[in-house]
Structure formats: structure tokens, C-alpha cells
Amino acid sequence: MSTTADPVKRSRELVEQLKRSQIFQDYEQAFRDTTGLPINLRPIEAFDLPHHKDPNENPFCALMAKSNHSCSACLQLQKRVEEEAQLEPKTLKCFAGLCDSAVPIRVGENLVAFLQTGQVLLSKPDTKVFAATTKQLLKFGTDIDLKKLEEAYFQSRVLNRRQYESILRLLSIFAQHLSSLSNDLSVRESHAEAPSIVRARAFITERHAEDLALEQVAKSVNMSAFYFCKMFKKSTGMTFTDYLARVRVEKVKNLLLNPHKRISEAAFEAGFQSLSQFNRVFRRIAGEAPTDYRSRIHRGIELA
């Protein structure tokens, strides 16, 4: 993935590109229709209200957003959620008992964006909880119609923990797809590719599971190995060896979304020739061990 001197600016640009992609727009609509929850793709350090004016925004949260004091409390929660979701999905509760969750999108060691959802209760609305919320709002000095607020609060979407964890699992899987797309966008944006390099990349993608040699790829695009090395590095910013390793690691990541696939099986299926090589390369590219990656993807989401 290409680098930038300003990761925040790069994240914002990347999020705009991802939001224009058909895969994100299709998933966004399907997620809203299926779950009834809001969804947002956000750049890093974007400490605004993530679901404000979303078609599925919780009416209670919409009313709260109109008050400066309660809005400030929500923004502080967003900051905490993003700070704690750097490496794995994180869910926190606001003072009113509503949950909000962030799922990180990472490319290698770099955090590039978040998928967020929430504004949901994990137990039925309770009069005691609402009374405590009202007390807190009065401390804030919030000027808000408490009657309307109470009606909105008791209309909040309620899910059990298992349902909500399943929804977050779907977001985690989609985050992996967006991670791959982010990597492709970055490489394409930074390096204009000659047709021969485009063909070489396609050849690598198709044959990465084989014991693929540089000479074999160079021959497929009618180049000498020396000239191919030079052109490939200039176009992609990576050596052939590093590029092939990244393709194989992305393949392993996708295979490991299947909880029944053994890590060793995924490694050999992706084209790695030994487990020691695979473990070393995966850690270097993904920023964590394969076992840590698998447990992070498949373990239940920790709820505060």
C-alpha cells in the first residue's frame, strides 16, 4: 500500500473513494434494510456524530444531537470507541444505555477507516434507566422536551447480545473486503500501470497458489526477468516477491473467514511452501500472527 505524509488526509480521501464504490453502496443498503440499524464508513480522527441524519438514526439520538451538552457527551463516546477500536471491533455504551460500535479497517499495519453502527439497546427500555438519564440531562442543563425524549427512548431498537454480535460479525467480514479494496485503490492511484504489468498482475492473481517464479511471470508478458523486475517495482512500488506474498496473505485472510478452515490448509492453498515461511510473512504483512488474526475475527465482540 502506498504511504502518505498525512494519514488523516489519506484516510478521508480513501473513504470517499470507497463510498463511491458499488460494493459499498450495495452493502450499505442491504445492511440498513436487513438490520434496521444505521451504518457509516468513517475516516480516522473524524470525531463527529457518525449516524446523524442516517435513514435509520435512532429518534432518541436525533433529539439528543440537538442539545449542545448531550451532543458533547456523544462526541466523547465516539472518541473513546475509536481509540479502543484500533485493532479490533469495540462496543461501548453511552450514559443512556445505548450501544455504539466501531469495526477497524486495516491494510497491513495501517489503520485506514472504521465501519460503525449502533444506537441500539441490548435489553428492553427501563423506566429506572430513563429516570437516571433524565437526571444526567438535567445536570447537563439540557433544554429538551422530556416527554418527546421519553417517547423516543422507549421506541429504541432492542436486540439481544447474540443478535448484535452477529451483526458486528457481518461488519467485520465486510471490513476485510474493504481492506482488500483499499489496498487495490492505493496501488492503482499511486502507480499508472503499463498494459504488460496489468497482465502480469492478473497472471499472478490467477496462478498465486502455484510455486510461481519471477522468470515464469516475466515470460508470460514477453519480458526478460531483469527488465520485468525493474518495470514491476516502478509500477507497483513493490518487488515481485513482496507483491506475491501480499496476494497470498489476502487469500489466506479470505479463507480464514471460514471458521472450519485450518490455518495450515489456508496457507498451502494460497501458495505458501512452508508454515515457517507463511508465519513470518503473514506477521510482517498483516501486523499480527495468523492465530491472532483468526481469533480476532471469530471471537465474540466484547461489550462494555
In a domain, 304, yes or no: no
In a domain, 217, yes or no: yes
Residues 43, 14 share a domain: yes
How large is the average pLDDT for residues 222-226? 94
d(CA 239, CA 235): 10
In a domain, 2, yes or no: no
Task: State what percent of residues in the chain have pLDDT above 90.
Answer: 49
Residues 228, 161 share a domain: no
Residues 263, 124 share a domain: no
State the CATH number of the domain containing residue 103: 3.30.450
For 225-261, how does the pLDDT look when each residue is reduced to its tens digit (9 = 90+)? 999 999 998 887 789 999 999 999 989 988 988 888 9
DSSP assignment of 70-131 equals HHHHHHHHHHHHHHHTSSS-EEEE-TTS-EEEEEEEEETTEEEEEEEEEEEBSS---HHHHH
pLDDT value at position 184? 73
Residues 262, 203 share a domain: yes
Number of domains the chain contains: 2
Q: Which domain holds residue 269?
A: 193-298
In a domain, 303, yes or no: no
Partner residues linked to 94 by β-bridges: none
pLDDT score of 38 more than 80 = yes
Coil vs helix vs strand at 303: strand
State the CATH number of the domain containing residue 273: 1.10.10.60
For the entire predicted model, the pTM comes to 0.63
pLDDT score of 186 more than 60 = yes
In a domain, 117, yes or no: yes
Neighbour tally for 20: CB within 10 Å: 9
Question: pLDDT confidence of 142, banded at 50, 70, 90?
Answer: low
